Amino acid sequence: MSGLLTAPFLKEMVRTVSDMYARGWDERNGGNVSLLLTEDEVASYLDGVLREIPTGFEAPALEGRYLLLTGTGKYFRNVPHQPEECLGLIRLTEQGRTAQLLWGFSDGGSFTSELPAHVLSHAARLSVDPNHRVVLHCHPTNLLAMTYVHTLDEREFTRTLWRMGTECIAVFPEGLGVLPWMLCGTNEIGVATAEKMRRHRLVVWAQHGLYGAGNALDQTFGLIETAEKAAEVYLKIAHLPIVNTITDQQLRIMADAWGYRPPTGWLE
């Protein structure tokens, strides 16, 4: 399956991971990415099952689905140079309890330790959006910093970000979900993240990072990029007297003009 290295979806994955590393969102092996693929997209590259890896959880909604994803312990900076070692293509079987490795992880490695959060988030997003395909987890500096100095109330966290730029309410009108600190790499945080993903495409892990979901890698990258820029603006001005701001009335005007519906009660 060396031909998979030329596949458009793999090239796009490598580019996305490289851009995330360049932005400082994924230091060391601090992050993970997964992309849902159809059988038609991968069929011409398949040679058979290399090995089977237990997942440690169930996800019947993704039975038989294909995922291209980053590996556990793999440094993002190495993905462009060692894609067949750092990335893997799996198919979920046995109600999601088993991952059949079809390509990648050539050094004997395995999928990201955050697979529960990814798979369960994919299932949650598919339940509300059949075009969903992507989950990105990263550690954007400013959003991470914001969880130390801002209330973790979802409504207030979102309203602060909406006010940091005119386009924000258009890019994430449903707002952000926010989780308090939880141990990462567990089924528990995966379940909690997936529950938030039913209502939000962005979920903040306090003192850790962010999960973003979308229909394409570019779209999801841009979603995170916009929220991260808003957090950067907030941190630059939070200690200063606020002379001007985007009001709730102006937020409502924008939402109405663009046809978006923020959560009920999130605007005064």
Buried b (16+ CB within 10 A) or exposed e, 145-162: ebbeebeeebbebbbbbb
Q: In what order do the strands lie in the sheet with 66-70?
A: 51-54, 98-104, 87-93, 66-70, 32-37, 134-138, 209-214, 202-205, 176-179
CB 217 within 8 A of CB 223: no
* Active-site residue identified among 27, 58, 85, 114: 114
Q: Is 114 a catalytic residue?
A: yes
Q: For the purposes of burial, counting CB atoms within 10 Å of the CB of 65, is it exposed (0-12), middle (13-18) or buried (19 or more)?
A: buried
Q: What amino acid positions are annotated as catalytic residues? A: 114
